[in-house]
Amino acid sequence: MQTVAFHSYRGGVGKTLLSVNTAVQLAKFGKKVCLVDFDLRAPSLQSYITSESVFSLDQNDFVSFTEFLIGKGSPEEVINPTKLENFYVVVSDIEILQNKSQTRSKLTQHGEGRILAKLFEFIRYCNSQEFEFLIIDCMPGVTYRSLDALVVSDKIMIITRPVKSEITGLGLVISECYSKLDDTKFYAIMNQIETIQDLKNQPNQMDLKIAQDNLKGIASTLKNNNLEIDILHSFRRVPFVTERIYVLLEDPHPFTKEIQEFCQKLISL
């Protein structure tokens, strides 16, 4: 089983959109996939999957992964099968964070490695159930919980956009965090990239220069460190892409095609 974490320095870069679409597409390719919402701060997987009738999932049916992490329930209880063959989901909820302060601190702070141990227990269970891919949608940034997901993953997909502040953050997270994770493979995924064609059509020369500089900035940040981080895929900016599972659409969408291409690369890694 491959445990693949989708991580980014900051939120809002398209992590969940990419991880959900990737997981569903992998399942459509016949791979047994479990998608885990480990963004405990802002879980959003539930809204993605319950809005798609193809999964036939009811919002009230879920046992929260957050509860499992604090010791309630077993791994099998939190894995929800869907109507889509080979596709399973694990959702989190934020309500538990508003309960007792003791529970909250267990989840939000160091936690003596207990949450990490629970997460690993869950992964071992998935392994025993012969899943081929475990896709973890991580919490962004460097918190103890995002570290947990990074520590247990075999491969980490670093999602980044060509924005100056994110390039600085990427450099920081590589030197402070990723460089300390031995035995883990890192791949960069650039999201919302302007194609050469798009750039050519850009009438404002200043914006054009900034866009080009930012692309170079990402490349040099990835290059100028001790880790080998290849750019696995660049997703082009597609107008009007919203929070949807595009790979389920009957009509081919440009984003679907990109996800399919990305999944092929992921399978062959």
Q: Site residues (CB under 8 A) for other proteins?
A: 40-42, 71-74, 94, 97-98, 104, 108-114, 116-117, 120-121, 124-125, 128, 139, 141-145, 147-148, 151-152, 176-177, 180-181
- In the chain the first and final C-alpha atoms are separated, in Å, by 13
Say if CB 29 and CB 262 are below 8 A apart. Answer: no
Q: Nearest CA to 151 among 189, 198, 113, 112?
A: 113
CB of 84 to other proteins, least distance (A): 26
Host H or E run for residue 217: helix 205-223
The DSSP result for 109-147, as a single string, is: S-GGGHHHHHHHHHHHHHHHTT-SEEEEEPPSSS-HHHH
Looking at the Cβ atoms of 113 and 252, the one nearer to other proteins is 113
CA 186, CA 107: separation in Å to the nearest integer?
A: 26
CB of 215 to other proteins, least distance (A): 28
Looking at the Cβ atoms of 73 and 81, the one nearer to other proteins is 73
Q: Nearest CA to 22 among 186, 134, 126, 149?
A: 134
CB of 145 to other proteins, least distance (A): 6
CA 17, CA 262: separation in Å to the nearest integer?
A: 13
Looking at the Cβ atoms of 75 and 217, the one nearer to other proteins is 75
Looking at the Cβ atoms of 82 and 153, the one nearer to other proteins is 153
Looking at the Cβ atoms of 116 and 259, the one nearer to other proteins is 116
Looking at the Cβ atoms of 163 and 177, the one nearer to other proteins is 177
Q: How far, rounded to the nearest angstrom, does the alpha carbon of residue 130 sit from its chain's CA centroid?
A: 21
Looking at the Cβ atoms of 128 and 264, the one nearer to other proteins is 128
CB of 263 to other proteins, least distance (A): 28
CB of 69 to other proteins, least distance (A): 11
Q: How far, rounded to the nearest angstrom, does the alpha carbon of residue 267 sit from its chain's CA centroid?
A: 16
Tokens 């997909």 — which residue?
Answer: 157
The tokens for 179 are: 């460089």
Q: Give, as one character, the DSSP assignment of residue 64.
A: P
CB of 38 to other proteins, least distance (A): 12
CB of 65 to other proteins, least distance (A): 14
